[in-house]
Amino acid sequence: MTKYIRYQTASGVSYGTLEGDTVHQIQGGLFDGHAATGATHKLSDVKLLYPCEPGKILAVGLNYRSHLGTRPAPAHPEMFYKPVSALQNPQDPIVIPRDATDVHSEGEMVVVVGKRLRHASETEAGDAVFGVTCGNDVSERAWQNGDKKDLQWWRAKGSDTFAPLGPAIVSGVDYGNLLLQTRMNGETIQKQYTSDLIFDIAAVLSWISGWVTLLPGDLVYTGTPGNTRRMSPGDVIEVELDHAGVLRNPVS
């Protein structure tokens, strides 16, 4: 198991691996044969950033039966886009945008693609996973589903700060059996294992690659379980995924 982070110090932005509370700086990007530099930092001395810089972000809707309610299970992964400008760092705020009235958190496992995928089989897609991390698919329900909903989810799912990500990408674990939890102000409001996904990682990546080429660094938010809850300024949201850590963001 390896944990990868992206972080900032006084000397700039770097990638590193995380062992306990020690950051080991690496040279190069995550997907191009990086190597350790020998430099280390205490975790408390760096600012964690979202752990990679994707070319695009896709997300799955309705991928846990516990989130379906009375809706039927989809026949295939139902995809949508989130813009990269929606990404937010660990610890930095989720900002309730102007005119928003019903903004919810959605804790999710996020897949980081490690290889180019085009018309990939599920086996090929599974082998292309670089790792997973925590994500929050923040959603404005009125813009998404309300009486005056938008034609597209461009702002309901894509407003600035609506894609918190991190703290670490973990590789080399069983991605199909991780506990995912979301807490609001310390109260657990979502809790489910990734084994309960309707469409697992390999199925989702394979499906996407039939139309949209996936490239190293691309992200796929894999869906949220159970019920979600409206957030208000002053709340603190934590998304925890086994081995990847806790993604914590205040709401403002």
CA distances to 17, 32, 130, 152 from 1, rounded to whole Å, are 11, 19, 12, 39
Q: What is the pLDDT of residue 32?
A: 84
pLDDT at position 128 over 90: yes
**Fold of domain 1-49:** SH3 type barrels. (2.30.30)
* Closest to 218 measured CA to CA, from 113, 87, 78: 113
pLDDT greater than 90 at residue 71 = no
pLDDT bucket at 100, cuts 50 / 70 / 90: very high
Q: What is the pLDDT of residue 213?
A: 98
From residue 58, alpha-carbon distances to 69, 90, 212, 217 in Å are 23, 20, 10, 12
pLDDT value, residue 200:
97
pTM score:
0.96
pLDDT digits (tens, 9 = 90+) for 219-229: 999 999 999 99
Residue 91's pLDDT is 98
State how far the Cα of 216 lies from the Cα of 202, in Å rounded to an integer. 15
Residue boundaries of the structural domains of the chain: 1-49, 50-250
Residue 213 burial (CB count, 10 A): 14
- pLDDT in the model for residue 25: 97
Q: What is the mean pLDDT of the chain?
A: 96
Task: Say yes or no to pLDDT of 29 above 90.
Answer: no
Q: Does the pLDDT of residue 28 top 90, yes or no?
A: no
Residue 76 pLDDT greater than 90, yes or no: yes
Residue 107 has pLDDT above 90, yes or no: yes
Topology of domain 50-250, CATH: Fumarylacetoacetate hydrolase; domain 2 (3.90.850)
